[in-house]
Amino acid sequence: MANLQNKIKEFFGKILNVIKTFFWNVRRFFINIKKRIGDFLDKHNINFVSNFPNWAKALLYLSPALIVLAVFTFWPIINAFALVVYENYNMTTETVTGYTIFGNFITVLTDESFIVPASHTGSSAVINTLIIVFISVPISVLLALFISAALNSIKPLKSFFQTIYFLPYVTNTIAIGLVFAYMFRTDGGLVNQFLSLFGVNVDGLSWVESGAVYWRSMFVLIFYSIWSTLAFKIMVFLSSIQSIDKQYYQAAAIDATSRNRIFTKITIPLISPMIFYILVTSVIGAFKIYNSIVALFGVSGAPAGVDYNLQSIVMYIYQFIDGSNAGNLSVAAAGSLILFAIILVLTLVQMQVSKKRVHY
Amino acid sequence: MNKQLFEKSNKVERYTLFIDFLAIAAYITLFLVLFKMLLLPDVIDGSMDLDNLQFMEPTYQFLGRTLYKEGINTIISLTIAFMLIGIPMFFINLKKVKNRTIYEVDSYVAGSKFFQGIINLLSFNPISCGLRIYNMFILVKFVKGYNAKEFFKSIWPAVKAYFKKLFTKKAKESTGGLDEYSVSIKKSIRRQSVTTVLRMLFTYIFLVFMAFIIIIPFYWMIITSLKDFSGATSATPEFFINISRMNWVNYKVVLTELNFGLYIRNTVIVALFSTAGTVLTTVLAAYAFARIEFRGRELLFSILIMTMMIPGELYIITNFITVSKNGFGWVGMPSGENNYFVAMIIPFVTSISYIFFLRQSFKQVPESLYKAARVDGCSDFKFLMRIMVPIASPTIFTITILNVFSSWNAYIWPRIITGVGGQEGQAYWLISNALRDTAFVLDNGRVMYNLQIAASTLVTVPLLIVFFMFRKYIMNGIGRSGTKG
């Protein structure tokens, strides 16, 4: 019996061996052919595979990204300058009535909802955006600095708090914006409930609904933008505080330096490049605010039944793509070029300052 | 070190995990069956009678019993709670059982087994509980060498000794009758420790307060999504709701009647394809920028970096022309000839910032490795696939997750693309624009806040789940990308 089993095993092993050798031979055959062709080409100096120039190789690797970038990134930049000189450009028929150099810029700059507010609106896109930038950015940067310093000084529960503070980064702006609008409701909103605990008369105190005063709805918007941008700043500050050399703190501890002094004389100066980086990026981000406004106030950019508007520069631009003034893309291009100019100036300032990298 | 006992404990742990897995599968099936059973209001004139949603008193037949609204809500809430506890516990234990070495086992491990067993018991899983407690006895024997009987005997003396130690320590501190100098030093030490404690207290109060502000919208969102209409719009909203009054039917209405199932499917399609494209193109491009030397590399790269400053609105204007009728003709065509998915995916299959991010981590691979591979006859592509991608895989993974997040949150481009199509485009909405543009208003003018917030929760919860699964990658990625800036 055992003999038979062994024989069967041997038989199958032989068959397997034959198949294996066959495939190995086939493989060796092809490798041989490849090698011979390569040798032949090398001998006659026409082997373009081994002489493949680096630029061609690079082109091969870059082409998928570059084709997409060329169509959807470089072409729009060029085309924006073309669009700006058209007068009354019509998208569907691709016709223009004439050409102008500054006409579209003048249209944007003199628009009563862009810079200088009309008497009946009370606010304009640039004023709204500047208010958001100059209030939300300093507050959120300071708050993020304090929180990350506090996080760095504790040990238990540190990663727990870190996780919680990171949550707003991974949420959908529109979804949480709707929740904020719900929390700031007039009747039975969570915030009004909270205020009524302190004896505030919340009857008809509206934040985002009809009848809200400008500063109240602006407060909600700024609060939401701080809430949603805090996570990234805390993360960056915390990682840069943790990368500071511990020797500085040990030296300060030997000299019995007070906590405040350590914070202002060691921590802040050493992470100053990062603070500046965050400051500039968040100013740029605040200039581009759009989703939060849409989430809180809808596409119109204002609570129902009020005479002001909370639209930002980006919202002003988008209204020419889809909105009340849809179709006039030249004006939109002019507006976005103005926004680009603002961002360019801010970035150049950042580059100049970060080049020096003065710590002390 | 008794190796046999350790292996026995691991074996028991594996059996426990298997039982846990069965229990989780049971919870999930139970949840799905019950969720499918939930009755929706009747359809009148082609649309659901949502007005009637909170007044319905449906009865369900389940396992031969008659369940009312409260009963089925309670069971669904419990299964979800069990899943929330059970699934993370399962994966954490799975990871531990794979990686644990004999040196890491101490009495804390045995204690944690006991607590996990109690949790198992609370989630109606007595078999896992029994196995875990059995495992605890094995571990106790492994660590201390006690039998079960000896172990029970040893508990009371240990507790007594602990409290004794606590009190004697205090007594020692109070008796400090030394000379003046050391008394003054002791006083200053005490003063310092008091200020330290106060400072820590203030730090924690500050952190807890800020964490509260961060967490409250999430809590309020989840609570509101489970209320009925009158609960969501009442003038004095409740902060806690009983599990029997959690209206899980809200989610069913949002998924079916308000079409959020379709919108989530659309978003997943767009996110998958654009992420796959992004990873492919960025890996290839980043490799070219990091390793291949060609003329004009730095120039090309700095041009790419410069375009990062340009605001997205500038692109969107022209891209809209490009994809519409006079360009590629993906949208804005007569109905039936539109290609909304292509228009939403193709512009986002590459990203300059990710190329930049990935190039940084490719550059950290030493040049000598590349040279050695070249000497051994490894081609560039093989080197990229066999060495670069595995080394940089955490970065690539971070890029994948961040890209999925950004396509999940995309709002303005899908809105413009689907807005052109009118009624037809509405079937291609992604979740963000569906959230904003779906009218949660009934014919009689009532705003269904609970359904709106339930839709928000449906959009937020997947993100949170992915975040908690890959927390380390995401948070490290953000920290590093910020630092490199």
* Rounded Cα–Cα distance for residues B122 and A115 (Å): 63
Closest residue by Cα to residue A125 from A302, A285, A280, A283: A302
Report the pLDDT value the prediction gives residue A230, as an integer from 0 to 100.
92
Mutant choice from A72, A176, A270 vs B, greatest count of B C-beta within 10 A? A72
Mutant choice from B188, B192, B196, B207 vs A, greatest count of A C-beta within 10 A? B207
Q: Which residue of chain A is at minimal alpha-carbon distance from B378?
A: A50
Report the pLDDT value the prediction gives residue B424, as an integer from 0 to 100.
82
pLDDT, one tens digit per residue, over A42-67 is 777 776 666 677 888 888 899 999 99
Q: How far is A135 from chain B (nearest CA, A)?
A: 19
Instruction: Name the band, by pLDDT with cuts 50, 70 and 90, for residue B50.
Output: confident
Token couple for B355:
């190329």
Q: Which residue of chain B is at minimal alpha-carbon distance from A74?
A: B307
> Which of A66, A151, A321 lies at the smallest CB-CB distance from B320?
A321
Asked if the Cβ–Cβ distance from A76 to B318 is below 8 Å, we say yes
Residues in contact with A283: Cβ distance below 8 Å, sequence separation at least 6, in sequence order: A133, A137, A346
3-state secondary structure of B68: coil
Q: What domains lie within chain B, and their CATH numbers? A: 3-144 (no CATH), 259-437 (1.10.3720.10)
Asked if the Cβ–Cβ distance from B409 to A143 is below 8 Å, we say no
- CB count within 10 Å of CB A114 equals 21
Whether the Cβ atoms of residue B451 and residue B440 lie closer than 8 Å to each other: yes
Could you tell me the residue ranges of all domains in chain A?
Answer: 2-77, 103-356
Token couple for B367:
């040049």
Mutant choice from B274, B303, B317 vs A, greatest count of A C-beta within 10 A? B317
From chain B, pick out residues whose CB is under 8 angstroms from the CB of A236: 478-479, 482-483
Q: How far is A188 from chain B (nearest CA, A)?
A: 4
Q: Which of these ranges, A68-77, A157-166, B137-146, has the smallest mean pLDDT? A: B137-146
Asked if the Cβ–Cβ distance from A154 to B352 is below 8 Å, we say no
The number of residues in chain B equals 485
Report the pLDDT value the prediction gives residue B484, as an integer from 0 to 100.
39
Q: What's the burial of A160, exposed, middle or buried (CB within 10 Å: 0-12/13-18/19+)?
A: exposed
Instruction: Name the band, by pLDDT with cuts 50, 70 and 90, for residue A68.
Output: very high
* Rounded Cα–Cα distance for residues A52 and A48 (Å): 5
From chain A, pick out residues whose CB is under 8 angstroms from the CB of B214: 164-165, 167-168, 227, 230
Report the pLDDT value the prediction gives residue A360, as an integer from 0 to 100.
45
Mean pLDDT of chain A: 85
Q: Which residue of chain B is at minimal alpha-carbon distance from A65?
A: B281
Average pLDDT of B105-129? 87
Exposure string of A272-309, with b = 16+ CB inside 10 Å and e = fewer, is bbbbebbbbbbbbbbbbbbbbbbbbbebbbbbeebebb
Token couple for A309:
């508007």
Task: Report whether pLDDT(B174) > 60.
Answer: no
Is the ipTM, as predicted for this complex, more than 0.95?
no
Report the pLDDT value the prediction gives residue A317, as an integer from 0 to 100.
87
Report the pLDDT value the prediction gives residue B479, as an integer from 0 to 100.
67
Whether the Cβ atoms of residue A359 and residue A270 lie closer than 8 Å to each other: yes
Token couple for B53:
């949603």
Token couple for A11:
């038989």
Please state the pTM of the whole predicted model: 0.86
Report the pLDDT value the prediction gives residue B167, as an integer from 0 to 100.
78
Task: Report whether pLDDT(B115) > 70.
Answer: yes
CATH assignment of A103-356? 1.10.3720.10
From chain A, pick out residues whose CB is under 8 angstroms from the CB of B405: 170
Share of chain A above pLDDT 70, in %: 94
Q: Which residue of chain B is at minimal alpha-carbon distance from A166?
A: B475
Report the pLDDT value the prediction gives residue B371, as an integer from 0 to 100.
86
From chain A, pick out residues whose CB is under 8 angstroms from the CB of B317: 76, 80, 83, 317, 321, 329, 332-333, 336
Report the pLDDT value the prediction gives residue B124, as an integer from 0 to 100.
85
From chain A, pick out residues whose CB is under 8 angstroms from the CB of B454: none
Query: What is the bridge-based pairing of β-strands A98-99 and A86-87?
Result: antiparallel
Whether the Cβ atoms of residue A243 and residue B483 lie closer than 8 Å to each other: yes
Q: What is the dihedral of CA A48, A53, A54, A58, to 10 degrees?
A: -70
Chain A, chain B: beta-carbon pairs less than 8 Å apart:
270
Q: Which residue of chain A is at minimal alpha-carbon distance from B415?
A: A322
Ramachandran area for residue A344 (φ above 0: left; ψ -120 to 50: alpha; else beta): alpha
What's the DSSP call for residue A292?
H
Report the pLDDT value the prediction gives residue A223, as an integer from 0 to 100.
94
